[in-house]
Amino acid sequence: MDILTIEEFSRRLRRRETSSSAVTETCLHQIGVRDGRLNAFISVMTDSARQQARLADRELSEGRDRGPLHGVPISLKDIIDVKGVATTAASRVREGHVASSDAPVVENLRRAGAVIIGKTNLHEFAFGTTSEDSAFGPVRNPYDENRSPGGSSGGSAVSLVAGMALGTIGTDTGGSIRIPAAACGLVGLKPSGGEVAIDGVVPMSRTLDHVGPIAHSVNDAWFLLNGLLGISSVRPLRPVEPSRPLSSVRFGVLRTYFCDVLEDDVRTRFENALETFRAAGGSVDDVELHNADHIAAIYLHLVLGDAAAYHAHTLETMPERYTAPVRERLEMGRYVLAEDYVRALKGRAALTRQVDAALTDHTALILPTLPIVAPPIGADIVPVGPTHQPVRNVMLRLTQLFNLTGHPAVSLPCGFSPGGLPCGIQLVGPRGETENLLRVALSCEELLKR
Amino acid sequence: MTIETWLQAAVADAERRGLTQAKRLLEGLASATRALRAADFNESASGHPHN
């Protein structure tokens, strides 16, 4: 089906060529037709979405324009509170829960005029990268229904690819926005650490969790980010240098460790993208991070410890309500020693300094998002070149670093494997400079589309 | 506590609690802990480099 971006919808809406009600009905129709197979949604908010869409149309006809998200149907990962609706986190542990208020990001999105169309499926408690361990069944990738869409925000990404929403909001603790964006051919943004409020969101790790958008384009991600932040008067981004788009951009390629384990198809798309950026005037040179080999160990000790603290009580009182794989991995966190958690905190600080240093003379760091294409549902191990890799470890390998360090990171589509599966490229910018990062990403997006 | 001692105790406890995948997962965690403890960002009370 044709892709309708938020930017294009907004243009048509203001030319009175479409309405919020019409596009909301189209999304609801797509959910009805396709979600039986894809399993992207946990709850569809049909009545309230129609009501919000009618209100958006009426406001616009009366001259009240709330900005680029006015009347836009969006989906939310079902880990974010919406008043009066269950926040299931895709787990039976949450049975009977109903949110008593909107999360602040939802309040902001409503104020920006967004139409909340429903809440999307995910890996249980966001504790996985494939979206297959869910109390509501596995989410399926529209590019190949036998494959995972990535995760943990898998249902969010699928809702967008399948035309069930025009934009979507996910969360990212180790890559859970960027991984499904890469696996589904979308733009996924993890903002800077602390930039977007995480109140009213079921936590995995309060210091690693981020809320952010998945979108069809960089400008759509920009609109959604501003909606999350409560900023309504926002214009589309423009490229850095329209005539020679990357002439002032210096990319630092993270190669050692980061490109050591890559599927051949992913490597080819990545190298092609670098060549495209060089040809557009970008400077491209390699950078190394001294402690790159320790990223996974540092991340594991922190995320396991943090998640175990949140889940300890329910692991004791209702263990049978978790899916078995998620329960077993959460239990691991209860064995992390305090001294090792503290070592991991020290390692996190070291990595943050190293990424900061790498960005002092580079505009952005660049690396693939996901070392593999979308894996088959049910696979524990995948072949990568001559090696075999655990699916979860390999999927987190290139994204988890920036949750530790808090740098903003965006995944862009960079083509397809010969088998028709999407690949993603990741750009990382200085902390607190998400807008500048997206401006560079916009130039890259234009070049990769040609 | 050495990693070997910790691993032995953790596996025994997890198996007692009926966690069927615990041995494999804890061995993976132990491997990560070895890497973490060997990293050069760690400090030592001796004032000498950790390793």
User: Tens digits of per-residue pLDDT, A352-367?
Assistant: 999 999 999 999 999 9
Angle between helix axes A6-14 and A218-229 (nearest 10 degrees) is: 80
| A242 within some domain | no
User: pLDDT value at position A330?
Assistant: 97
Q: Which of residues 38-77 of A touch B (CB under 8 A)?
A: none
Query: pLDDT-based confidence at B50, cuts 50/70/90?
Result: low
**Two tokens, residue A119:** 């809440």
| A342 within some domain | no
Percentage of the residues of chain A whose pLDDT score is greater than 70: 99
Out of B25, B26, B41, whose CB is closest to A346? B41
**Two tokens, residue A425:** 């490229």
Residue A286: CB atoms within 10 Å: 11
Active site residue A77: yes
pLDDT beyond 80 at B48: no
- Would you say A151 and A141 are in contact if contact means Cβ atoms under 8 Å apart? no
Q: In angstroms, how far apart are the furthest CA atoms of chain B?
A: 43
Instruction: Look at chain A and report how many structural domains it folds into.
Output: 2
Clarify whether residues A133 and A255 are in a common domain. no
| A430 within some domain | yes
Clarify whether residues A72 and A195 are in a common domain. yes
Closest CA to A182 of A433, A416, A443: A416
A335 CB near a chain B CB, below 8 Å? yes
**10-residue block means of pLDDT along chain A (450 residues)?**
90 97 98 98 98 98 97 98 98 97 98 98 98 98 98 98 98 98 98 98 97 98 98 85 82 98 97 96 97 98 98 97 97 97 98 98 98 98 95 98 98 97 98 96 93
Q: A132 vs A92, A250, A422, CA distance in Å?
A: 15, 39, 19
| A298 within some domain | no
The residue of chain B with its CA nearest to that of A296 is: B32
Clarify whether residues A102 and A178 are in a common domain. yes
User: Can the peptide bond before residue A417 be classed as cis, meaning omega within 30 degrees of 0?
Assistant: no
Clarify whether residues A270 and A128 are in a common domain. no
Range of the domain at A414: 250-287+362-449
Q: Do B6 and A335 touch (CB under 8 A)?
A: yes
- Residue written as token pair 């850095």: A240
User: pLDDT value at position A1?
Assistant: 58
Clarify whether residues A202 and A151 are in a common domain. yes
| A74 within some domain | yes
User: pLDDT value at position B6?
Assistant: 96
Q: Do B25 and A329 touch (CB under 8 A)?
A: yes
Alpha carbons A1 and A3: distance in angstroms, whole number: 6
Clarify whether residues A56 and A161 are in a common domain. yes
At CA A243, angle to CA A240 and CA A249, rounded to 5? 40
Which CATH number fits the domain that encloses residue A146?
3.90.1300.10
Clarify whether residues A162 and A213 are in a common domain. yes
Q: For residue B33, which residues of chain A lie inside 8 Å, CB to CB?
A: 297, 301, 337, 340
| A410 within some domain | yes
In the Cβ-directed half-sphere of A80, how many Cα atoms lie within 13 Å? 32
Clarify whether residues A140 and A216 are in a common domain. yes
Alpha carbons A102 and A88: distance in angstroms, whole number: 14
Q: Where are the beta strands (DSSP E) in B1-51?
A: none
The count of residues in chain B is: 51
Alpha carbons A250 and A285: distance in angstroms, whole number: 8
B21 CB near a chain A CB, below 8 Å? yes
Clarify whether residues A44 and A132 are in a common domain. yes
B28: part of which helix (H) or strand (E)? helix B22-38
Alpha carbons A199 and A150: distance in angstroms, whole number: 24
**Two tokens, residue A149:** 């869409």
> Which residue ranges make up each domain of chain B?
3-38
Active site residue A176: yes
Q: What letters, b where the CB count within 10 A reaches 16 and e where it falls short, cover A352-383? A: bebbeebbeebbbbbbbbbbbbbbebeeeebe
Candidates A299, A335, A400, partner chain B, best to mutate (most B CBs within 10 A): A335
pLDDT beyond 60 at B51: no
Clarify whether residues A159 and A16 are in a common domain. yes
Own/partner long-range contacts of A381-386 (Cβ < 8 Å, ≥24 apart): A384/A261, A384/A262, A384/A263, A385/A261, A385/A262, A385/A263, A385/A264
Clarify whether residues A216 and A256 are in a common domain. no
Q: Which of residues 272-311 of A touch B (CB under 8 A)?
A: 291, 293-294, 296-298, 300-301, 304
Clarify whether residues A152 and A212 are in a common domain. yes
Residue A247: CB atoms within 10 Å: 13
B43 CB near a chain A CB, below 8 Å? yes
Average pLDDT, chain B: 92
